[in-house]
Amino acid sequence: MISVNNLTIEKNKKKIVKNISFFIKKGETTCLSGRSGGGKTSILMSLMGFLKPNEGIIEINNLTLCDQNIYKIREQLSWLPQSIDMGHGTVYDTLMFPFSFHINKKNTPSIQKIKENLTKLKLNQEVLKQNYNTLSGGEKQRIALLLCFLLKKPLIILDEPTSALDKISKKTVFNFIKSHKNITIISSSHDKEWISFCDKTIKI
């Protein structure tokens, strides 16, 4: 599913990722762990083509990251960013906006489906009418995670997925993720509970 070979990334002429290689199988949940500033987020950003690798080859679902494939690759993934201020308007508007994109139209979820998933994530259904920016960090993180799964992409990229969650919410989120099969997840985190939840850890 994901193959990274000798990846080197430079930022401001400084190598922040040096010769990293790894392979992730389809359906695996993987965590990139290591010290802060070690390049975990940069690797995730380069998988999505937001940081161009200086050296090395990245392949996702047999597509090599390059000019021709970049948009095809992005069509196959969804991302939970570290900063979760991605909303505009109500929570419902925030959840539905990505389904206005041509590629996602066919996967537009019903209101029933959204409500079921909110319950699974222990979120009140009334939250849909609330302004996204008024939510707490933990609520925003769960809404952003819900969107990742609603988009029905084979690959999900999670950057510090538990950073705003308390112990109870973490358990809820782990159960929610477990209930979805055949999805490949690559994440970055220092959180020990998340690391032990993942199938595999790659030290960066």
Kindly state whether residue 74 participates in binding another protein, applying the rule CB under 8 A.
yes
Residue indicated by tokens 């849909």 = 128
* Among residues 98, 170, 190, 200, the one that binds another protein under rule CB under 8 A: 98
36-39, long-range: CB within 8 Å, 24+ apart, which pairs? 36/190, 38/204, 39/9, 39/204
- 159: closest CA among 26, 49, 33, 8? 33
DSSP symbol at 44: H
DSSP symbol at 91: H
Least separation in angstroms between CB 42 and another protein = 13
Kindly state whether residue 126 participates in binding another protein, applying the rule CB under 8 A.
no
Least separation in angstroms between CB 180 and another protein = 17
Kindly state whether residue 50 participates in binding another protein, applying the rule CB under 8 A.
yes
Kindly state whether residue 106 participates in binding another protein, applying the rule CB under 8 A.
no
Q: Which amino acid is at 53?
A: P
Cβ-based neighbours of 40, under 8 Å, separated by 6 or more: 32, 33, 34, 188, 204
The residue count for binding another protein (CB under 8 A) is: 28
Which residues 20-49 are close enough to bind another protein by CB under 8 A? 48-49
Question: In Å, what is the CA distance from 107 to each residue of 51, 103, 162?
Answer: 28, 9, 26
Kindly state whether residue 119 participates in binding another protein, applying the rule CB under 8 A.
no
* Among residues 36, 37, 67, 110, the one that binds another protein under rule CB under 8 A: 67
Q: Do 17 and 199 meet the contact criterion of CB atoms below 8 Å apart?
A: no
Nearer to another protein, 38 or 81 (CB): 81
Nearer to another protein, 139 or 159 (CB): 159
Could you count the other beta carbons within 10 Å of the beta carbon of residue 110? Answer: 8
Binding segment toward another protein, per CB under 8 A, in 16-24, 33-41, 65-73, 194-202: 65-73
* Among residues 6, 25, 26, 101, the one that binds another protein under rule CB under 8 A: 101
Between helices 111-120 and 167-178, what is the axis angle to 10°? Answer: 130
Kindly state whether residue 153 participates in binding another protein, applying the rule CB under 8 A.
yes
Return phi, psi of residue 11, to 5°: -130, 125
Write out the residues near another protein by the rule CB under 8 A. Answer: 48-50, 52, 67, 70-71, 74-75, 77-79, 81, 83, 85-86, 88, 97-98, 100-104, 147, 151, 153, 157
